[in-house]
Amino acid sequence: MPRNAESTAFRSALEVIRGVEPRVADAIGAELADQRESLKLIASENYASPATLLAMGNWLSDKYAEGTVGRRFYAGCQNVDTVEALAAEHARELFGAAHAYVQPHSGIDANLVAFWAILADRVESPALKKAQARHVNDLTEADWFALRRELGDQRMLGMSLDAGGHLTHGFRPNISGKMFDQRSYGTDPDTGLVDYDRVAEAAREFRPLVLVAGYSAYPRKINFRIMREIADSVGATFMVDMAHFAGLVAGKVFTGDFDPVPHAHIVTSTTHKSLRGPRGGLVLCGPELADQVDRGCPMVLGGPLPHVMAAKAVALAEARRPDFADYARQIVDNAQALAEGLLRCGAKLVTGGTDNHLVLIDVTGYGLTGRQAEQALLDSGIVTNRNAVPQDPNGAWYTSGIRIGTPALTTRGLGTAEMDTTAELIHAVLSQTSAGVGPDGTASKAKYVLDPALADKISRQASELLTGFPLYPAVELG
């Protein structure tokens, strides 16, 4: 077999790893094999390019680099400065932002940087300075209470979890819920859509310091111009978490009122998901918040990960190429085709369809919980994740929904015709799965019944569907 550059690089890496811990090498190889054989429909997952993956495995990993470009607390960071500056430059140009901070290790970290930047911009207090000087995980409960007392009643208004919001938008299990007094806006109970008049009413009543827009399971666009007007009407800082749909912004699918960057005071994102980069985060803002954002390390971040910033630079450079816009458009076309196929099969979809990269199926119509549906699909070679639906009767653990997305399959080259087939496979599994019973004979929210022969059949059909769309075709490990 021909050993091209990509195959040589990955084969050689695995050989080196195998010489130290063969089980790790085996797991890496097995992961590639599993991803090649399954229909990956998790909306938050994608496939990074070989160049992006390779950029993470190098000597940049060995460097400490606290600080920012040209202002490090360690010597010898000239090469780190180069890759961080490149990543920030590509981010600014890609999104049309005045300032980009590419150090966050994840989307949660990016949100923490944004929250602290907003607080620091609003208030200077002894407790805040103490918090900025220490790692956030070192703060005691007493520190948090002191901070809240000195800052005053710091309020955040964001989308509710069951409507599609995210845990990091002020909810108690997350650290953001300790920083802010949070209230949620939901969606219209009949349509599942954001009701901007109700958001404005909630903002007038609650008077938040921060109004957050963004989602992890809302299958429609958000009008960021209207949301900014609401924020301005109550003097709130408007923050957008575009982690899920950043690729659609980068690819100019979301423009005008639906592009958050011109409208928000501060924007956060991950660099994976629809942006198709490495796992990590970034923050975009104007000059008025830039200095505070650049204090992210050591304010809430540990040392920057230079090797991941290098991978971010590569992925963001890829996203600036013209073909990325074609990719982003195809993501939405595929999601809409998938939604239409499911509707033809009789599935119930939250909001009745999609405008973006994801589709949310209400599986109660199949007599299942989200947990049962998720596992039955996984048994059948279809990888999804369970998700709450608005006013979910099964709560956040078992849920009543399945969230599916098209970024990964679109990367593999699948189109709208393949989405029709995918919808049929999903429906075939869910329609033939039934709820199981627990040890006491009552209905279970976790156990399910699915004929193994059907699961095997669907799994083989899923694998056959992918045959014409090989994953990392230039990488040959065997």
Annotated catalytic residue within 109, 241, 294, 374: 241
Q: Is the pLDDT of residue 4 over 90?
A: no
Any long-range contacts for 121-129 (C-beta under 8 Å, 24+ apart)? 121/237, 121/288, 121/289, 121/292, 122/151, 122/209, 122/237, 123/150, 123/151, 123/152, 125/150, 125/151, 126/150, 127/151
Sign (positive or negative) of CA dihedral 74, 78, 80, 81: positive
Return the pLDDT at 439: 83
Beta-carbon contacts of residue 86 (< 8 Å; ≥ 6 apart): 313, 317
The pair phi, psi for residue 134, each rounded to 5°, is -120, 160
Instruction: Annotate 288-324 with DSSP letters as a single string.
Output: HHHHHHTTHHHHT--S--HHHHHHHHHHHHHHTSHHH
Annotated catalytic residue within 72, 220, 273, 403: 273
Annotated catalytic residue within 11, 18, 64, 122: 64
Annotated catalytic residue within 36, 122, 134, 279: 279
pLDDT, tens digit (0-9, with 9 covering 90-100), for 153-164:
688 899 987 877
Tell me if residue 279 is catalytic: yes
Share of the chain above pLDDT 90, in %: 77
pLDDT, tens digit (0-9, with 9 covering 90-100), for 54-90:
999 999 999 999 999 999 989 999 999 999 999 999 9
Report whether 268 contacts 243 (CB < 8 A).
yes
Tell me if residue 64 is catalytic: yes
Tell me if residue 143 is catalytic: no
Annotated catalytic residue within 37, 45, 66, 143: 66
Q: What is the CATH number of domain 322-466?
A: 3.90.1150.10
- CA dist., res. 357 & res. 195, Å (int): 21
- State how beta strands 443-449 and 401-405 pair: unpaired
- Annotated domain spans of the chain: 59-319, 322-466
Residue 298: asked if its preceding bond is cis (omega within 30°), the reply is: yes
- CA dist., res. 58 & res. 62, Å (int): 8
More confident site: 295 or 331: 331
Least confident of 3-7, 206-210, 288-292, 331-335: 3-7
CB atoms within 10 A of CB 245: 33
Q: Is the pLDDT of residue 325 over 70?
A: yes
Tell me if residue 178 is catalytic: no
Tell me if residue 386 is catalytic: no
pLDDT, tens digit (0-9, with 9 covering 90-100), for 353-391:
999 999 999 999 999 999 999 999 999 999 999 999 998
CB atoms within 10 A of CB 275: 33
Mean pLDDT of the chain: 91
Return the pLDDT at 100: 98
**Token pair recorded at residue 127:** 């407790």
Amino acid at 83: V
Q: What is the CATH number of domain 59-319?
A: 3.40.640.10
State the pTM of this model.
0.90
Instruction: For residue 141, name the pLDDT band (cuts at 50, 70, 90).
Output: low
Return the pLDDT at 1: 37
